[in-house]
Structure 1
Amino acid sequence: MFRTAAALAIAAAALTGCAPEPQLSISDAWVRLAAVDGRPAAGYFTVNGGPAAATLVSVRTDLALRTELHESMAAAGGGMTMDAIDQVPVPARGEVRFAPGGKHAMLFGVNPQVKPGTSLTLTFTFADSTRIQHKARVIAAGDQAPSVD
């Protein structure tokens, strides 16, 4: 009995050591369309760090004329302010969430064919030239944000 339990413990430890290294990836991507025609849409997502630190430098889609990374933050007078950001560090094995009220991608000149309930492909580019494509769910301005884990 003891030998069986010891063998199982050793096998479990060996399998844990063989688990694949987490890879740089994107999850929970969605885009909220603007409430007013001509205004930018906002993209939200999570960047999941891989075995080494990375730096996100851009997010693009073929369905918008221009995309910029931005960050919202509390202003001195109690309101909110938003600034463009050139890059976002992603820690190894960490995560960076782009969420309402914080970091987000602004999508300017979104193609009018993009409608709630569809999806669009975002291309994420990192400083080392790594590119990841990920589909983002599209929701209307007034829709509730999708739940994320």
Structure 2
Amino acid sequence: MRFPAIFSALLVLAACSPGGDDAPADPVENAWVRLPAVDGRPAAAYFDLNGGEAGDTLLAIDSPRVETIELHETMEMEGGMDGAMRMQPVMSVEIPADETVSFAPGGLHAMLFDIDDDVTPGTPLTLNFRFDSGRDIQVEAVTIGAGDEPPFSDENN
């Protein structure tokens, strides 16, 4: 008679365990940093943010190895030269429920000012993402040199 009780317990545990297609996506994916070509200049971070079932808002990013991180958006200049771009700081970024917001070259990105000198291409860089929901997510970003190919395919960035 113990077999049915053990079998029932295993079924309950299996039903509660995450996995498969129903598992929620990581809130931050594909994080990478393009280091500056010139020492003393800022680097740029790119990543994908998943809104999950409820959505959320990215408020800030910090790192123990970076003095300041700002959220920015690249925009075409109005009334300027055709195709000229400029960057504009943004205070937060809304991530709608069941959607992904990509931070990619030419769009949303994070500017990293005063990175530790020992961060070189290939050095993992810890980034801490703070959300309006109260979640703090820590990820290890891949670092690449200024002229290197992005570590993730274009369809992810």
TM range (shorter): 0.7 to 0.9
Superposition pairs of residues 61-80 of structure 1, within 5 angstroms: 61-76=63-78, 77=80, 78=82, 79-80=84-85
| Counterpart position of 1:43 | 45
| Counterpart position of 1:25 | 27
- Per-residue CA deviation, residues 65-101 of structure 1 (Å, 9 max, x unaligned), is 0100000011122200100000000011100000000
Q: Residue 53 of structure 1: which of 52, 55, 60 is its match?
A: 55
| Counterpart position of 1:133 | 138
Native 8 Å contact 1:24 1:51 kept in 2? no
In the TM superposition, what is the alpha-carbon distance from 1:21 to its structure 2 partner?
5.3
In the TM superposition, what is the alpha-carbon distance from 1:24 to its structure 2 partner?
5.4
Rounded to whole Å, the distance in 2 between the matches of 1:144 and 1:23 is: 25
Runs of 4+ in 1 over 3 A off after TM superposition: 18-21
* RMSD value, Cα: 1.7
Deviates more, 1:121-130 or 1:94-103: 121-130
Stretches of structure 2 that go unaligned for 5 or more consecutive residues are 1-14
1:145 is the counterpart of 2:150: yes
Rounded to whole Å, the distance in 1 between the matches of 2:136 and 2:22 is: 20
Rounded to whole Å, the distance in 2 between the matches of 1:138 and 1:95 is: 22
Structure 2-normalised TM-score? Answer: 0.79
Secondary structure at 2:22 match in 1:
coil
Q: Residue 109 of structure 1: which of 108, 111, 114 is its match?
A: 114
1:92 is the counterpart of 2:103: no
Rounded to whole Å, the distance in 2 between the matches of 1:19 and 1:38 is: 44
How many residues align? The count is 133
Rounded to whole Å, the distance in 1 between the matches of 2:25 and 2:152 is: 23
Aligned identity (percent) is 46
Native 8 Å contact 1:57 1:88 kept in 2? yes
